[in-house]
Amino acid sequence: MICEDLIFKNQGPVAWLRLNRPAQLNSINLSLLNSFSSILNKLKNDNSNKCLIITGNGRSFCAGADLKEYQESGGNQDEDGNQFLDRLGEVFNKIRNFPKPTLCGLNGITMAGGLELAICCDIIFAAESAKIGDAHSNYGILPGAGGAALLPQRVGIHNAKYMLFSGNAFSAQRLYEMGLVQEVIPDDHLELRLSEFATQLANKSSLGLARMKETVDLSLYLPIESALKVELEAARRHSQSNDMQEGLQAFSEKRPPNFK
């Protein structure tokens, strides 16, 4: 399936979403958000899909919101009256709450809303040449989709303020050192590494990964005692699953598990 602004392609059990507005540095507009929403709705309940990869075409992953279109539209409403920031928050929440592992491949410039899109994903891979930052402060704009609210969880409060206040672009290696990026990959190997890692995840228990993701995400907002109770309850429920029984059987038989 190919849309004008977002390319969707299945490669076996892995779904790829490519932002496809290279002339605009893959900046986000309402059309792009609507395409995202439609495809995510389709993929959420597609059992053949085990993992989602989000990356970009051209020299940018995503340079943020399309400010030119936003200005020209005088508030940027779509035909149903949806405001841009409201729609942005709705779609980014869909990505954050997507029940399957989400990988992000930063292939180039990643700024402002592009950074907020990246931190919606579970794991971030970045090309060596990628430049990553917030940039809202450079134009007197406030983050509205997680830049200020969620970035401190990823890089710590002082690093988050450093990035937000300065508006600077940082190297992929610097963001790896801060803990935002999990792997820095040579530019010409980024997609190969994304595919390799996604395939590794696709061979695991989808139910197990979904419950693991849910538990990790919930733990961010709970006191330690409550988080441990959530984890214990999830482990108890999962112990009754066919996938766990298959895993134990495969372990005892010294063979790869065949998860259903």
Q: What are the structural domain ranges in the chain?
A: 6-202, 206-253
Torsion sign over Cα 174, 177, 179, 182 = positive
Question: Phi-psi bin for 50: left (phi > 0), alpha (psi -120 to 50), beta?
Answer: alpha
What's the whole-model pTM score?
A: 0.91
Question: How many angstroms separate the Cα of 133 from the Cα of each of 62, 111, 124, 128?
Answer: 11, 5, 14, 15
**145/166 Cα distance (integer angstroms):** 18
The CATH class of the 206-253 domain is: mainly alpha
The single-letter code of the amino acid at 117 is L
Question: How many angstroms separate the Cα of 105 from the Cα of each of 45, 127, 157?
Answer: 23, 8, 24
Domain 6-202 identical in fold to domain 206-253: no
So what's the pLDDT on residue 214? 94
Between helices 206-219 and 242-253, what is the axis angle to 10°? 120
Q: Which CATH architecture has domain 6-202?
A: Alpha-Beta Complex (3.90)
**55/61 Cα distance (integer angstroms):** 6
pLDDT tens for the 260 residues of the chain, in order: 446 899 999 999 999 999 999 999 999 999 899 999 999 999 988 989 999 999 999 999 999 988 887 776 655 555 554 588 889 999 999 999 999 999 999 999 999 999 999 999 999 999 999 999 999 999 898 898 888 999 999 999 999 999 999 999 999 999 999 999 999 999 999 999 999 999 999 999 999 999 999 999 999 889 999 999 999 999 999 999 998 998 988 898 898 898 88
So what's the pLDDT on residue 25? 94
